[in-house]
Amino acid sequence: MVLDDQNPTTGETRILTDFTNNMTYSEYLQLDKILSAQKRLSGHHDEMLFIIIHQVSELWMKLIIHELKAAIAAIKADNLSAAQKCLARVTKTQMQVIQAWDVLSTLTPSEYMEFRETLGQASGFQSYQNRMIEFALGYKNSHILQIYKKDPALHAELLKAYEAPGIYDAAIHALHKAGFPIDKEILARDVTKSYKENDSVRAAWMSVYKNTKANWELYELGEKLVDIEDCLQQWRFRHMKTVERIIGFKTGTGGSSGVGYLKKVLDQRFFPELWDIRTTL
């Protein structure tokens, strides 16, 4: 391989310059595919911003799903420290997605109206990765699966995620394994239904938080879950305010009520007992 040994500007003498038989950075990342995936339908300047923000957010969501799956597996394997590492990464990733709204909010109503019609009925409401995150966090809605029937392979993947236990189910089983009494109906609950708060789970978390030294790993797990729900709600709030800022109270391109719908989902709870005990501790 040829080395650049005559670079007077940088002083570097061993920078590789011949990649005839070696993989390049662009090839490794498949940048040709990624950077050619921004297809503006309107030709409008600001449509590029709209596309890139959503594509980047979907990439971050892919990482969130990857880490949530690993965290669930780690909890099931009684490796809570590994799960905590994954969940900490989820939270840091969520912050990146939250900050993306700051960039999208530079799009004004007049600019968006120039290309909104080209979206047809496509909408962020249809993001299947967002659904998979919700499923992993325990919010289940069978009706929403109808959106994805157009793609049988994708529908099957979503159905699998829908029927799988979420991370809170794994955490509750970890409480049970640690000796905290959990109601049998919760341990054997139908995981295709959204989780509903339970007194035995609340009592278990209360015991953990009252004696953190003896239950440090479970306590840390609980706090990591709170971090994730906190960030998720921040993301939802910024989503709602950005949509209101750009289109007001218009109906969403996918048929939802837009801001009205986004306000309603702010009331969804994922790990209710972990929030409830803060009042009674």
Q: What is the DSSP letter of 15?
A: E
Angle formed at CA 152 by CA 154 and CA 190, multiple of 5 degrees: 70
Kindly state the tokens that stand for 104.
């999208």
Is the CB of residue 228 less than 8 Å from the CB of residue 254?
A: no
Kindly state the tokens that stand for 220.
């840390």
Is 168 marked within a binding site?
no
* Domains of the chain with CATH codes: 44-116+125-279 (1.20.58.480)
Is 115 marked within a binding site?
no
Longest distance between any two alpha carbons in the chain, whole Å: 73
> Distance (Å, rounded) from C-alpha 118 to C-alpha 112?
11
Is 202 marked within a binding site?
no
> Distance (Å, rounded) from C-alpha 117 to C-alpha 174?
49
Kindly state the tokens that stand for 88.
């900490």
CA dihedral (166, 172, 177, 183) in degrees, to 10, reads -120
Is 139 marked within a binding site?
no
Is the CB of residue 196 less than 8 Å from the CB of residue 166?
A: no
Structure confidence at residue 208 as a pLDDT band (50, 70, 90):
very high
> Distance (Å, rounded) from C-alpha 90 to C-alpha 97?
11
Is 98 marked within a binding site?
no
> Distance (Å, rounded) from C-alpha 274 to C-alpha 87?
16
Q: Read out DSSP for 68-132?
A: HHHHHHHHHTT-HHHHHHHHHHHHHHHHHHHHHHHHHTTS-HHHHHTTGGGGTT--GGG-HHHHH
> Distance (Å, rounded) from C-alpha 20 to C-alpha 214?
59
Structure confidence at residue 10 as a pLDDT band (50, 70, 90):
low
What phi, psi does 3 have (nearest 5°)? -110, 145
Structure confidence at residue 38 as a pLDDT band (50, 70, 90):
very high
Is 54 marked within a binding site?
yes
pLDDT tens for residues 129-150?
Answer: 999 999 999 999 998 899 999 9
- 143 or 186: whose pLDDT is higher? 186
What pLDDT shows up at residue 3? 46
Is 34 marked within a binding site?
no
Instruction: Output the 3-class SS for 65-86.
Output: HHHHHHHHHHHHCCCHHHHHHH
Residue 7 has pLDDT above 80, yes or no: no
Which contacts (CB < 8 Å, 24+ apart) does range 110-113 have? Answer: 111/44, 111/46, 112/46, 112/50, 112/246, 112/247
Is 17 marked within a binding site?
no
> Distance (Å, rounded) from C-alpha 230 to C-alpha 269?
10
Is 52 marked within a binding site?
yes
pLDDT tens for residues 169-184?
Answer: 999 999 999 999 999 9
pTM above 0.75?
Answer: yes
